[in-house]
Amino acid sequence: MESSDKSEEVILIPPYVKYLIEVAKKDPIKFWERIAEENTSYVYWKKKWDKTFEWGENGKPYRWFIGGITNATYSHIDYQIEKGYGNKAIYIYENTEIGVTKTYTFSQYKSIVEKYASAMRGFGIKKGDRILTYMPTRPESVAILHAAARIGAIHSSVYAGFSAGALRDRIDGVGAEWVFTQDYNLRRGKMLNLKSIVDEAVAGAKTPVKKVVVLKSGYSQNDVNMVRGRDLYLDEFLDYSKDGSSEVEWVESNEPIFITPTSGTTAKPKPVVQKHGPFQNYVVTMARWVYGLKPTDTWFITSDVGWQAGISYMVWGVPIFGIPSILYDGVPDYPRPDMWWEVIERNKVTKIWFSPTAIRLLMKYGTEYARKHDLSSIEVIFSAGEPLNPAPLKWLMYEVLNGRVPVIDHYWQTETGAPVVGYTYGIQMMPIKVGSAGVPLPGIIGEVVDEDTGEPVKPGERGVLIIRNPFPGFTSELWQDQERYWKSYWEARPSLKGVIYTGDAAYIDKDGYIWFMGRADDVIKVAAHRIGTFELESALVSHPAVAEAAVIGVPDPIRGQVVVGFVVLKHGYQGSEGLKKEIMEHVKKVFGPIAVFRGIEIVKSMPKTRSGKIMRRVIRAVYLNKSPGDLSSLEDEASLEEIRRAIEEFKKELE
């Protein structure tokens, strides 16, 4: 047989997925109408929509599924009970701080939500009012959100770790007149007075907060300060249920369901609005296509009820499939480093959602804790929140799970409500490219373009991700600030008017896979070479001693900028000058000599946001002796002092 010199074509994107992508490109609106029709087996419409999409006049929000009448709480709870899921678990509460596990069925949970809804109405909360929760992940905090949506109120869930200043900004940002919190929280065995933080935030807020409702956690016998006439305990609040109705408030598709303020850096948080109809459709679609959710699953998203991932795929997006979610109230490594593995084994979890930070933390402790547990129920693990370095992905997929199940990266933002770039695990699985978040999903016309010209870049060239079409998951407004909305997303750059600007740097390869490199402004220029922070950090983390890494660019008189790296070591490794040199040599080998380091410092922890993202701007500011700006989202002030100490030591060495 004669040999052929033609290279064989390998089809990476499954034909049906490719078909959906191309159909959506031809007519995105018609495509989303077809998908919404498919989703009616999940999303309940009391009245079907009259028109699929229309742009708003004079800069007003565009609208989806116009004229449709629905309610997200009804779709997620009542509709599932009608399908026969009443006696099936909807939530499994795991509080590892005090060793509590409790299961709630759909029917039991519906009774709780109805009582909360009745109490809200009896209390005077009505359709369109904004309620805000400042509570950890627990059944009560989730039920408050479902109850608010049930009566047509708008909820905003804030992570119960934010400072009083950050909470105040969020109260004002959404105009919340009703705040729900709990007296104390327990983390790593330490008692935190949440109520005192709420008191300080409310005192400084411009919004007149009418009532503060306080859940007694049972963690302490000590009473918290209660303001007469404003504050009441949850039990007292529930007494108002006799004065109100739990009936569903049917709403038009484009009425708001919730507002999520994005974490700010130097500016105030953006209050991102999602609407009942389009949001339901989008989270359901991506749960089908990306996560492959099915009634036999048990789902564990390790996010918090105060973050968008937890709101989209714990509060919403999962019960609508008639499957249980884990409500995890605690931290992953207390009281033992294997708490998550224990929860997975006990509940026979099938699908897991980890942040990259969480995976790196688990990797820091090694495989021994995972191997103590039966993890055979796991079918797939997903990761999002920031780019997932190849080393942690491979560690989890091959060393922990022995290559038995895939670990799948994907990408989305608070503003998108659900994934926009990923692998179509739920349709037909695509080959995983380690380090890539996948491809723009069907219905998302995503491109990587030059930020200055707006033109698509060639494969392998760095650019910024933009999305050319509106889609149901993308927010259509910022609460009461439409001018900021258009400037932030649709008119962010002169060359990018009329497209959605994500602000995330990336390149696209010849097969259409997207590789994210950090934020567009997170670039280090060494002797005219533009290097993404993610690339260098991945090179650092690929060293066997390194669990976590951060890099910054610092001024250099010859090269313009050079790199300073910070690393956290895995358990069992000791820092030394020899190890620092070894790590730098390793990076030169795996990345190339253009990565010119001024030095590497070994630290115990990194300054991170409360959602687990490394705050490089803070590290850079400290290095340059500048103000670090807004630190309201900083998780642990001790980590900032750790960086200060490391930088001072580093600078002494250079003297």
Pair 148, 114: CB distance under 8 Å: no
At a CB cut-off of 8 Å and minimum separation 6, what does 612 contact? Answer: 355, 356, 357, 358, 385, 386, 635
Pairing relation of β-strands 325-328 and 89-95? parallel
Helix/strand/coil percentages in the chain, nearest 5: 35, 25, 40
Ramachandran class of 533: left when φ > 0, alpha when ψ lies in -120 to 50, beta otherwise: alpha
Cis before 335 (ω within 30): yes
Backbone phi, then psi, for 60, in 5-degree steps? -70, 160
Quick one: angle between helices 28-38 and 15-26, nearest 10? 120
Beta bridge partners of 351: 299, 380
Q: Say which of 509, 511, 521, 630 is annotated catalytic.
A: 521
Question: How far is it, in rounded angstroms, from Cα 342 to Cα 332?
Answer: 10
Tokens of 76: 């997620």
Backbone phi, then psi, for 549, in 5-degree steps? -150, 150
Question: How far is it, in rounded angstroms, from Cα 586 to Cα 601?
Answer: 15
Identify residue 558 by its one-letter amino acid code: I
Give alpha helix (H) positions in 27-180: 28-38, 72-73, 79-80, 106-123, 139-150, 164-174
Pair 126, 103: CB distance under 8 Å: no
Pair 463, 507: CB distance under 8 Å: yes
Concatenated DSSP letters for 171-189? HHHHT--EEEEESEEEETT
Quick one: angle between helices 637-654 and 616-623, nearest 10? 40
Question: How far is it, in rounded angstroms, from Cα 165 to Cα 188?
Answer: 24
Q: What is the DSSP secondary structure assignment for residue 634, as one 8-state letter? A: B
Residue-level length of the chain: 655
Pair 552, 524: CB distance under 8 Å: yes
Helix, strand or coil, per DSSP, at residue 77 = helix
Question: How far is it, in rounded angstroms, from Cα 311 to Cα 308?
Answer: 5
How many C-beta atoms lie closer than 10 Å to residue 453's C-beta? 12
User: Is 522 considered catalytic here?
Assistant: no
Identify residue 393 by its one-letter amino acid code: L
Our CA angle for 156, 98, 187, nearest 5°, is 55
Question: How far is it, in rounded angstroms, from Cα 366 to Cα 590?
Answer: 23
Active centre residues (catalytic): 521
